[in-house]
Structure 1
């Protein structure tokens, strides 16, 4: 009688531990303040924007195109020539022959047709696409940083969840070992081995999650870390800075504000016509539209090659007095030169044809980009809808049922009508369900960040207050 009672007491202690563990597991689903000085999602996105060298390089590229557009609209520099003409080779005397002269000339070329204006227009259109590139880059930063941050948060909370439940598996191992060594009840050696095995597998799972967390944080450092050159110089070369913030993520799961209209997210089948009209405002599509306009200007520029290029030249020839002292008149010359684009079949025609083909290429890039965005939006929206269904299923039914199953199997084992392996399976299933619930919560927010990317520019700040669902 004493041994079964000892076994029941030990199992009831374990049952209390399971109940406490379930309450602790549910802790991430309650409101918690973020850690002081932690790397929140909002701060990570702000750091990525602030410290992205690509954005700074794009601004320099825009300035370069602006300067080039001004330079390309200017006339080419005039050419000056200086020469001694018609010197006699027998004496090399400057005053011997009447045609000997010191000649200074200047030549100015005038480009074909509207070449200057079109060159400037093409570069200005290319420059106008740079702000769209930066806007698309910032949207991509928000998407990538959000994705990596939420992945790191998922692994962090999964590790914390397993650590909070680890003592339960250790306690169950101690109970089975104690029961087996004292021959109390019907504890078998395979129960002890099973408890040891599950604890070892739990440690292996912790190692896998820590590996995933390290990888996510390492990838996140590409965006939030700061590397750059500083003004100070050293003996070994230019000095530079390299730093990254501390990776202490807050416990709270941030809720990312959805930019897509609710009716678009709730649709089972997208209206591509409606979506396309919205996606045409996406910065990546608008950048391609600028590329199309620039390629049109390039085609117009190629057509100018059918027109002649003109040149005006003028020269002044100074002559010395003759040997008798008589004064000689100086010479002044002026002329016009131009080329004749007569044989255009293998040159001008081909250049225009290539420019027109480039216009069509840019158009296909635009429609291909739009088609890709429509398909990716449909995929992300469908995943988000199904994850919402799974979230409600886990919250309302699956997690409570898993907990009830764990308690029922433990009660059965306490009453000598159940199997210890079933107790372990039920507890592991409950823990896996809690980890899956965390993954679903993080994945939902990742998909919101993905969906927001397609509506870039609608709202400047895409993250709301951090709180748990």
Structure 2
């Protein structure tokens, strides 16, 4: 029996030593990680400012908007006139300008003139396209801010989760010490020590996973801010935990209809489609071509008229006849009509999606807000008191060690849920602001 106890004690010592080794290894890794941390702290507002200033996708959309602003004046201008220089009716035997009366050097100008109203409609459609691109810039900026805020709050939750894991590791170390002391004095069981070591190892594994998740989230936030992917991000320890009351859901719907850039973009695309439909109908009317030429001649007229030859002046007017309107203009009108209706349906569909996004964000926010309040004011403090009471009871052998460990791990999970509720609520607010189109979503 003594040999058996000695053997089990050896197993316990090796297991305990291995747990201590893992703990020290994590501490070393934490120190290395801390040494790499940049001293500057990135708060939520700063992250948004950096992303809006440096994000390449937003810059790309802004340049597209600038490019489209230059289009209306181009399509609204008359086509460039054509200047012609002609050598007319030169005799092939001598190429002498004086030999034949019809020999002349001509200079001419030809100008195509679209039917009145066509250029104005082209310019109007291009202006609507540019305006829609401007709304696209606002929409991309809005979604960028939402994504930055969401990633920032995910990182904040992971930081608090890592802090919670570390504090629970320290508490489990205390449990191990207490259990080991009781075991060595014959008042406890070796399985209590092994159980605590197992839970400690699980926390170490969870810490490793959380650090990997945090690094991946930091990479995504760095990309949004156009920073190197491996830049270290340090967040503040303290943040505002205020959970403001939201405006009425129907009021948020109305607010989105007037503020959401995406809906404004869809409305502008409808106006552009209407202009193109009007232009297609105007194409039934002909365009014109006006030409003027001046012919310079040399030499004299033959008798009896005599005298030097006069120059020629010519005017030409051409009209484009819509001879194949059944296959061209009529089809174009039908095409533009379908495109207009398509954009109208797209707006209705997008409105439905926006309203759904608002309702979903409001629901998520209210749920997370209630959970945060419940965990913060009730569940977590009660769980802390339970653990303290059980620890005191275990030290005097009034509480089973298994129940003590279970109560501590339950507290650990509640603490994680507390921070997750805060993060979820803030992310829901970010989604709601993006869905509405502005930050004024509160009462």
TM-score class normalised by the smaller sequence: 0.7 to 0.9
Q: Deviations over 1:173-193 (max 9, x none)?
A: 23333443x3521313x2222
Which residue does the alignment assign to 1:466?
none
Matched, 1:299 2:277: yes
Residue 311 of structure 1 contacts residue 336 of structure 1 at CA under 8 Å; is this kept in 2?
yes
Q: Does 1:287 align with 2:265?
A: yes
CA distance in structure 1 between the partners assigned to 2:405 and 2:284 by the alignment = 85
Residue of structure 2 aligned with 1:344, choices 322, 325, 335:
325
Aligned partners of 2:57, 2:299: CA distance in 1, in Å? 69
Distance of 1:346 and 1:157 partners within structure 2: 68
Using the size of structure 1 for normalisation, the TM-score is 0.79
Quote the residue 2:110 is aligned against.
107
**Is 1:445 equivalent to 2:426 in the alignment?**
yes
Q: Which residue of 1 aligns with 2:220?
A: 219
Q: Which runs of 5+ in 2 are unaligned?
A: 1-37
The correspondence for 1:380, drawn from 355, 361, 369, is: 361
Shift of 1:458: 5.3
Does the aligned pair in 1 maintain the 2:286–2:321 contact within 8 Å?
yes
Q: Does 1 or 2 have the higher relative contact order (CA < 8 Å, sep 6+)?
A: 1
Q: Distance in 1 between matches of 2:122 and 2:207?
A: 61
Alpha carbons of structure 1 residues 455 and 376: separation in structure 2 relative to 1, 3 Å: closer
Summarize deviations over 1:80-121 as a string: whole Å, max 9, x none: 111122222333333222222222221111013311111111
- For residue 250 of structure 1, the aligned residue among 236, 239, 242 is 236
Task: Give the Cα separation in 1 of the matches to 2:410 and 2:246.
Answer: 36
Cα distance 1:120–1:244, how it changes in 2: closer, same or farther (>3 A)? farther
User: Which of 131, 136, 140 does residue 133 from structure 1 map onto?
Assistant: 136
Asked if 1:457 is matched to 2:438, the reply is yes
The answer to whether the 8 A contact 1:260-1:455 is kept is no
Q: Counterpart of 1:306 in 2: which secondary structure?
A: coil
* 2-structure distance, mates of 1:318, 1:164: 101
Partner of 1:389: 370
Are 2:223 and 2:229, in contact at CA under 8 Å, matched by a contact in 1? no
Kindly state the Cα deviation for residue 64 of structure 1 after the two structures are TM-superposed: 2.4
| 1:319 pairs with 2:301 | no
Alignment partners' CA distance in 2, 1:59 and 1:124: 16
Q: Deviations over 1:405-431 (max 9, x none)?
A: 323433443343432222111111111
Alignment check: 8 A CA contact 2:68 2:133 kept: no
Give the TM-score taking structure 2 as reference length.
Answer: 0.83
In structure 1, distance between residues paired with 2:366 and 2:352:
21
1:335 aligned residue: 316
Query: Distance between the aligned counterparts of 1:379 and 1:300, measured in 2?
Result: 40
Q: Which residue of 1 aligns with 2:383?
A: 402
Residues 316 and 332 of structure 1 are in contact (CA less than 8 Å); yes or no, is this contact kept in structure 2? yes
For residue 277 of structure 1, what is the aligned residue in structure 2?
254
Q: 1:69 to 1:260 in 2, by over 3 A?
A: farther
Specify the SS of the correspondent of 1:194. Answer: helix
Which has the larger share of helix? 2
CA distance in 1 between counterparts of 2:411 and 2:141 reads: 40
Deviations 1:361-407 (A, max 9, x none): 11122111110011111112112222222223223332233223323
Shift of 1:146: 0.9
> Deviation at 1:73?
1.6
Give distance in 2, aligned partners of 1:453 and 1:92. 77
Counterpart Cα distance in 2 of 1:383 and 1:80: 68
- Deviation string 1:260-305 (CA, Å, 9 cap, x unpaired) is 52x33xxxxxx5xx55432211111111111111111111121221
Higher strand share: 1
For residues 302 and 258 of structure 1, the distance between their equivalents in structure 2, rounded to whole angstroms, comes to 52
- In structure 1, how many angstroms separate the alpha carbons of the residues matched to 2:394 and 2:337? 80
Q: Say how many residue pairs are matched.
A: 401
SS at match of 2:436: coil
SS for the counterpart of 1:254 is: coil
* Structure-2 change in CA distance of 1:57 and 1:316 (3 Å): same
Distance in 2, Cα, partners of 1:170 & 1:376:
46
Q: 3-state SS of the aligned residue for 1:454?
A: helix
Q: 1:64 maps to which residue?
A: 67
Contact between 1:259 and 1:455, CA under 8 Å: does it hold in 2? no
User: Per-residue displacement from partner, 1:230-260 (whole Å, max 9, x unpaired)?
Assistant: xxxxxxxxxxxx6997511001123578695
Change (3 A) 1:257 1:297: farther
1:198 corresponds to which residue?
Answer: 199
Specify whether residues 295 and 256 from structure 1 end up closer, same or farther in structure 2 by C-alpha distance, changes over 3 A only.
Answer: farther
